A and B are shown apart, each in its own frame.
Chain A
């Protein structure tokens, strides 16, 4: 994905777009680590929605933000116990 908004050709991304992208990433981390509460709320909401489709192990559920140098992903691990027949 062209996250730096590079124009056609081999132009270097402007230092401003590099700054903006780095800032965006750093703030995802900052904001997430400042509010574990946010992840906890998200987890509860997820459980609510999913449990109307299948039986899940609420205690075994984990919701985390996983990050590497260039991206941040929301990872949810939700053990399924039983799927309801439709």
Chain B
């Protein structure tokens, strides 16, 4: 039986889709079987980040409405045998999917795959409820900005209310140079405020823009620091104890690391 992770944030544009693509790819690159589900109905994006947009025939709504079988809608990745994408519907009504259907879908998928990665839409309405309905665990993405952290705080409360306890946090778009100058909140500040476990930190990295242009997830780029950070996150999800990369730990939180990663449960 696999595990279902929902990638969520509240605020839009903080990196949920990028994170979903790269955690999925990272896990597949270490031999896991993974399906990524895009639940952002009407704003389909995970397909282009993965470079799979030309292969889509059926989508999530086709599956929940029974227009096709689940297997028919799963798009095989170009790079990894064990990696699949279930794309969001682009033209259908948002209310076409119900939380109960998502629960069933997630159950079916985790029977077949080691990991189910759900890319959640922005907001706290229906799309959020669908995305979280079948999830076993939640990963909250934020950036070091007031609005993003505030929304993350709200989302953590809502996750708890939905019985998705102990979510972990990814801080995206961190700029160590700005942190050093005192012009950006650092890892400690954010963890202190949100009081949840840190899963990883992704730097602001132009390699993400370049790889998204190409449809090649940055997790496959061995020379980029964002790619390295995503590969580390994927390993942590499998239970490996991987310390933060040196630049991530720059603000002297190295000592706290052991405490933060309680991942060996």
Which residues of A are interface residues toward B (Cβ below 8 A)? Answer: 14-17, 19-20, 22-24, 26-27, 30-31, 34
Contacts and interface: CB of A to CB of B under 8 A. Distances in A.
Interface of B: 145-146, 149-150, 153-154, 157, 179, 181-186, 189, 193
Contact of B183 (A14, A23, A26, A27): A14
Please report whether the interface of chain A is mostly helix, strand, loop or mixed according to DSSP.
helix
Contacts of A20: 185, 189, 193
Contacts of B150: 23, 26-27, 30
Contacts of B182: 14-17
A32 to B, nearest CB: 12
A17 B179 CA distance: 11
Nearest to B154: A30
Nearest to A12: B182
Contact of A24 (B154, B179, B193): B193
Contacts, number: 38
Contacts of B154: 30, 34
A33 B1 CA distance: 40
Which residue, A14, A23, A26, has most C-beta atoms of chain B within 10 A?
A23
A20 B192 CA distance: 10
B157 A31 contact: yes
A73 to B, nearest CB: 20
B186 A30 contact: no
A51 to B, nearest CB: 32
Nearest to B192: A20
Nearest to A20: B189
Q: Which 6 A-B pairs have the closest CB atoms?
A: A14-B182, A15-B183, A23-B146, A16-B182, A20-B189, A16-B185
Contacts of B185: 16, 19-20, 23
Contact of A16 (B153, B184, B193): B184
A27 B153 contact: yes
Given A30-B154, A34-B154, A23 B184 contact: no
A31 B193 CA distance: 12
A20 B146 CA distance: 8
Contacts of A17: 182
Nearest to A15: B183
B60 to A, nearest CB: 30
Contacts of B179: 16
Contacts of A34: 154, 157
Contacts of B193: 20, 23-24, 27
Nearest to B145: A19
A26 B146 contact: yes
